Structure 1
């Protein structure tokens, strides 16, 4: 019952946080001083066009009424229509979300390998040449911005060694093989940028766990070192890295704009930039709200995962 109350409390807190985010998004985009219609259509817009847009966006109503209307529609799955294309936002978002989910899945797969394997090597061989080399590489990668790492990988694997495409353009007619090949470079870029943070956290946590009493007890019972490491030490050491992973999951959905731009990948991040450039307010609200929801959900899952993996957190002792 205690764990159930804890889950309910944290889910309720996440929903409340998401509600506050929706209010903030609305205030920033719609309740700012000035005429929203004029900012969207520009100074050369006719009075008739301005009136039509004001009616379409319900600008003749109070701000609180517009917010409640937008929130009600959002809860019913009605995201509205894009001002730039006139198409339903759900239809505009669907292919971009699918593309980003595919890229995120591949990037996360690479991330798990790139985070766990070096951290295990460092923790089990601390002070060795391998530990020092991996530490140097992670520090070097930490100092590189996203676009520079993406450009370096692009130059190496698409120009110097042309084994991967320079542009990660995909479409509905692309085959699975060509789609996977096009996603490799942006996925590896994202995985490296995420893994360099997790490696350091997981290494330090794993070293601490390997020195703990219950790990030593498992070794005294005659368990093989590999079983002690993967069955007892790693599940407990991975708890602190879950918070980093939660941040990385949010980054995967909402923070891949630069990487998608460098590789011309038609994903969710580039759609947000296009919406900002076109001043498509309904599309901006929908994309930002989805990004916030994914970020909050990722942190909730990491929080619950840490609770379930570590008994003392679950019992509160």
Structure 2
């Protein structure tokens, strides 16, 4: 087996093992929470026999490792159980909210990625200028502010004072794609401002590091046009760190939307997770947490694989 194939296979196996370990820790974390779940759902007025029957219905009378194996087996078959709050299948709840979260993440990514790459490239080419310093100052300010603060500032100015956009992102009431984009612009802009700052700074650092290489100086001495140096020599060799930071931020756009969705009352997975935690709906909490972990691990593994493939020494076996 080629060395590159072994490395890719190792990354895939490591990703699966990591996901398995996370699912176990997540189950253990819910298991050690204080209180009796059946008693809390039924209330203090429930009789012991009713509580015992309800515990048997939920499977809480079985040992934890048996319940974990049963839950994991159901997950592998696409069965996440039923919601304790609504009685609906958890898979149906996830499918309803998943589209909304993916829509918001895609909306933000389509704006953030080209803007971040362009600003990162320009700040690298015009480093130590007023433009570079201004962009770095703005990026540092955006990274330092928490998402909920950025969201409330946008609501204050763009929604309350100027009335340009709605305060609540009710995508379920949207009529057509244009209306959905309009209603979700503020949460998407919140994510864009946070993500662009990080990606821009990492892109700038990667480009500057490559531009300091001897082969770039040699290309300049040979009279190669500057745009060819950037496009054909600098960017391909700076792809690995840029891809890694893009994968991390794409994972954040899906996994880290919990606060943003709550602020804007956006009906996505983040809002579903908060509602499930409030009502102690543990099957939903486990399912959403496992989905977020799967997305995060998958994107990181893909970033590692793309970085390995983009390495000429590994690709050509030398």
TM over 0.5: yes
Query: 2:199 touches 2:249 (CA, 8 Å); kept in 1?
Result: no
Q: 1:68-107 maps to which residues of 2 (within 5 A)?
A: 68-107=69-108
Correspondences of 1:70-149 after superposition (within 5 Å): 70-149=71-150
Q: Is the 8 A contact 1:114 1:191 kept in 2?
A: no
Q: Does 1:150 align with 2:151?
A: yes
Report Cα offsets for 1:27-51 as digits up to 9, x if no partner: 1112556533224444343435423
Instruction: Describe the shift of the 1:280–1:129 C-alpha distance in structure 2 as closer, same or farther (beyond 3 A).
Output: same
From the superposition, tell whether residues 34 and 165 of structure 1 become closer, same or farther in structure 2 (CA, over 3 Å).
Answer: closer
The 1:43/1:254 distance shift into structure 2, 3 A limit, reads farther
Tell me what 1:207 maps to.
Answer: 208
Conserved in 2, the CA contact under 8 Å of 1:114 and 1:192?
A: no
Give the 3 Å change call, closer, same or farther, for CA 52–254 of structure 1 in structure 2: farther
Query: By how many angstroms is 1:278 displaced?
Result: 0.7
- Describe how 1:231-270 pairs up with structure 2 within 5 A: 231-270=232-271
User: CA separation of 1:256/1:44 partners in 2, compared to 1, >3 Å: closer, same or farther?
Assistant: farther
Deviation at 1:297, TM superposition (A): 0.6
The SS at the match of 2:184 is helix
TM-score, normalised via structure 2 length: 0.93
Return closer, same or farther for 1:152/1:54 CA change in 2, 3 Å cut-off.
same
Q: Is the 8 A contact 2:216 2:233 kept in 1?
A: yes
Q: Distance in 2 between matches of 1:49 and 1:121?
A: 67
Deviation at 1:223, TM superposition (A): 3.8
Consecutive unaligned residues of structure 1, counting only runs of 5 or more, are none
Q: What aligned pairs does 1:161-310 form with structure 2 within 5 A after superposition?
A: 161-171=162-172, 174-310=175-311
Separation in structure 2 between the aligned mates of residue 162 and residue 93 of structure 1, nearest angstrom: 33
CA contact (8 A) 2:39 2:46 kept: yes
Distance 2:40 2:228 in 1: 63
Question: Normalised by the size of structure 1, how large is the TM-score?
Answer: 0.93
Structure 1 position 88, deviation (Å): 0.7
The whole-number CA distance in structure 2 between the counterparts of 1:35 and 1:283 is 18
Aligned length: 317
Question: Partners in 1 of 2:4 and 2:314 — Cα distance?
Answer: 10
How far apart are the structure 1 equivalents of 2:37 and 2:103? 35
Question: What's the CA shift for 1:98?
Answer: 0.3
Distance 1:147 1:266 in 2: 17
Task: Measure the CA separation in 1 of the matches of 2:116 and 2:317.
Answer: 29
Structure 2: unaligned runs, 5 residues or longer: none
Q: Are the structure 2 counterparts of residues 34 and 150 from structure 1 closer, same or farther at C-alpha, using a change threshold of 3 Å?
A: closer
In structure 1, C-alpha distance between the alignment counterparts of 2:251 and 2:314, rounded to whole Å: 24
Distance in 2 (alpha carbons) for counterparts of 1:47 and 1:290: 36
The one-character-per-residue Cα deviations of 1:25-77 (angstroms, maximum 9, x if unpaired) are: 11111255653322444434343542343122211211111111001000011
Structure 2 CA distance for aligned equivalents of residues 201 and 235 of structure 1 = 15
Counterparts of 1:41 and 1:278, CA distance in 2? 12
Deviation per residue, 1:87-144 (Å, 9 max, x gap): 1111111121100000000111112123111111111011111011111111121221
Give the 3-state SS of the residue equivalent to 2:78 in structure 1.
coil
Q: 1:67 to 1:99 in 2, by over 3 A?
A: same
Q: Secondary structure at the match of 2:266?
A: coil
CA gap 1:247/1:48 in 2 versus in 1, 3 angstroms: farther
